[in-house]
Structure 1
Amino acid sequence: MQSLFLWEIGTPIVYVTWFVVFAAQIAISEINRRWNWTIFVLWTIGGIALMPYAALHGTPMVGWFPFGKYAIMVATATMTGFLLWYGKRNPEKAHRYALWFGVALWIGLAANIMEANIRDVTIFFEADNYLRCAADPACLKQINDAHVGIDMINGLPETRGIEAAVGTPEWYTTVAANFQASGVGIDPATGFRTIGGYWNLLTAAAGALNIITITGLGSIFITSNPAQKVRGLIWPDMLWPWVIAYDLWNHAFLYNALADYTWYCTLALLLACTVPAFTWAKGQWLWFRCFTLMFWIAANNLLPEILVPPSSITNFSTMNPTANAVCAWAAFLFNVGLFGYWIYRIRVTGRNPWKDPLFTNLGEFREIMRLHADDSDKHFIAAKAGKTPSELGL
């Protein structure tokens, strides 16, 4: 098997599909950012209208948990869109309620991270059960029987080269033997291949630190610089150290839980947030994270027969425990470093890390403020840091 360490080397369609997914996620988030009414048409009205279809069509294939995530993301996308819409029309109240804007967004973000942490810990404790299921032909058949309308087993690497007819007892027996030989487990609830190990606990610890280091909840504002044609929801303290720490953590978690889908749901999905935030949409990582995730979860609920089972567009994980460990260690060490820097900044500034902007010393912070803030907002944010705009270099 030729590989790129984390994933197998796929066919050309895998790479074409990746670019389509990456571009589509950026495009829909950018459309939502520029024309806010599209949020409520697509995700509020459209999202609610399609819930019955998602429930009736998607849940027999993938279960109720993805549907629950879909419903939560419809609410989150609507809330995020409302905050931007409200802030544009009520700038003074947006200042007054900035902390509550931040708290609302923090709840959504922190809950998402904590749910993943719980899932990581669960994988660690269920690792032996996943291995037993993968090595049991009856358990593999039960997985397929539970996913009505889609085959979660045929097409996996462990099914390659089997001569027995697909779905026969002989076929399932051979697949189970291949799983046992590879040392790969399978989650009987989801049908996803996974390998449990200490890396799950490392990743969960990284996620907990990532929640703690979300800073500057009271410093969120709406673009007020008249030179900017597009007005965004600006979180000036959500800068590159935290974004990279989040990306490393999220990739490590999903590589532990949904390894065969990370080609799209981390590499494409995370870059679709990070690239804009580091280029033309500075200070707006959370916006792109919200709406790329909304797009991806909606697609998985509405088109599960295309996106969920193994197929020609799946770029399979190598299922190499070393890859899991490397991803987990990278996430853990970077988040420990971020936490240490977070503590250092609290000590030298004396600021409340959740209420006040903490990373005002970074050039990215000053660039975001110059790009998006008018004089009023510069004074508003600087006052929270106990400084004047000139003292902060704004």
Structure 2
Amino acid sequence: MGILYNVPDLKTWGIMFFILVVLIALNELGRETKWGGILLFVIVPVVLTIFVWPTTCAPGNEYGTGNWFNWAKTYSALAGCVGFMLMRYIPNATKHKWVICFPPLILAINICEAVFRDFEAYSFHAFAGEKVNNLWVMSGPWNIMNGIAGILNILLICGWTGIYISKEKSKDMMWPDMDWIYILGYDLWNFAYTYNCISDHSVYCGVILLLSCTIPAFFIKKGCWLQHRAHTLALWIMFIMTVPQFADRLAPVPTTHNPKAFFAVSFLSLVVNAAAVIYQFSVIRKNKLNPFKDEIYTDKAFYKKINAENK
């Protein structure tokens, strides 16, 4: 038995690695080619919405995919993918201020959905752990802590006035301010959310899914983390809406159901996001910046490197 998870066998480790590689590869397909993006994020979802999901995600199904949250998260993630493609492929779209407000808005909406879910999980009063909507949940102070961490993570969203489209053939949506400082806080918060609310699915929708966008953000294409995140999130949700039995029966990786693990994960999320907010506001105050108009980290090496390579 592990600390966070009951350690799977070698076969399950192989499945997890395979999923990680496939998500990264499909993200690259959607990033590098216009038609790849249209196929993955427009044509496939339309077909699945009409012919598959009404059956696999019917209300009250035994795998927990028929609740409001799964449907809302699916289409908000797809809305982000489609919206970002329009920004990338319509000439001069990012020159309009209202257009560049879309990425921070869709990001904040996605975080708000999860924050609400954390608070909702606490309201279940499942303090000893029980199945709610066919998903195992253990309510506790960790839901409140991580809900607050999610709100703090929204406050960290900054520098959207600097969003632009890269000069490369892939036409990536660049957001230089959203680099490792934000990614660290987001990843810890989002993992804690999945651990709290989709506990026995969280090795996939938490660890593997977050790695699938964080690895490209640091090692494949820096500066467009949100684009990576939207793509991989949409791909994973579409898969789990189509094959809802995957995480429960085909390749399960249950958590240890240990209250100390829940507390530690959410406590770390809260501390790191609080520290990041304090640091970011100190930078804003020191440099007399307006977070609604100015980019925050223009003096940092990561910011300069991203702009030098893409503008």
* TM-score over 0.5 for the pair: yes
Alignment partner of 1:63 is 2:66: yes
Number of residue pairs matched by the alignment? 305
Residues of 2 paired with 1:102 and 1:230: CA distance? Answer: 19
Alignment partner of 1:353 is 2:296: no
Residues of 1 paired with 2:256 and 2:282: CA distance? Answer: 39
The CA deviation string for residues 178-233 of structure 1, in whole angstroms up to 9 with x for no partner, is: xxxxx43221x2x1112111111110111001001100111101112xxx554311
When structure 1 is superposed on structure 2, of 198-207 and 66-75 the one drifting more is: 66-75
SS at match of 2:101: helix
SS at match of 2:57: helix
Equivalent of 2:255 in 312, 317, 320 = 317
Whether the 8 Å CA contact 2:89–2:171 is kept in 1: the answer is no
Whether the 8 Å CA contact 2:129–2:139 is kept in 1: the answer is no
Residues of 2 paired with 1:125 and 1:50: CA distance? Answer: 33
- Quote the offset at 1:301 in angstroms: 1.2
Residues of 2 paired with 1:265 and 1:25: CA distance? Answer: 12
Alignment partner of 1:362 is 2:300: yes
Cα distance change, pair 230–56 in 1 and its aligned pair in 2 (3 A): closer
Alignment partner of 1:78 is 2:82: yes
- 2:25 corresponds in structure 1 to 27
Alignment partner of 1:45 is 2:25: no
Alignment partner of 1:290 is 2:230: yes
Equivalent of 2:155 in 207, 212, 218 = 212
Whether the 8 Å CA contact 1:216–1:358 is kept in 2: the answer is yes
Equivalent of 1:186 in 114, 118, 131 = 131
TM-score (norm 1): 0.74
- 1:108 corresponds in structure 2 to 106
Identity of aligned residues (%): 28
Residues of 2 paired with 1:355 and 1:260: CA distance? Answer: 41
- 1:196 corresponds in structure 2 to 139
The CA deviation string for residues 213-270 of structure 1, in whole angstroms up to 9 with x for no partner, is: 100111101112xxx5543110000010110000000001110001111111111100
Residues of 2 paired with 1:73 and 1:196: CA distance? Answer: 26
- 1:151 corresponds in structure 2 to none
SS at match of 2:16: helix
Residues of 2 paired with 1:193 and 1:26: CA distance? Answer: 29
Residues of 1 paired with 2:143 and 2:67: CA distance? Answer: 24
Rg larger in structure? 1
Residues of 2 paired with 1:27 and 1:126: CA distance? Answer: 38
For structure 2, list consecutive stretches of 5 or more residues without a partner in the other structure: none
| Residue pairs, 1:1-394, within 5 angstroms | 2-3=1-2, 5-60=3-58, 61=61, 62-65=65-68, 66-86=70-90, 89-90=91-92, 93-94=93-94, 96-97=95-96, 99-127=97-125, 130=126, 183-187=128-132, 189=133, 191-224=134-167, 228=168, 230-305=170-245, 307-308=246-247, 310-373=248-311
TM-score (norm 2): 0.93
Alignment root-mean-square deviation, CA: 1.6
For structure 1, list consecutive stretches of 5 or more residues without a partner in the other structure: 132-182, 374-394
- Quote the offset at 1:362 in angstroms: 1.9
SS at match of 2:8: coil
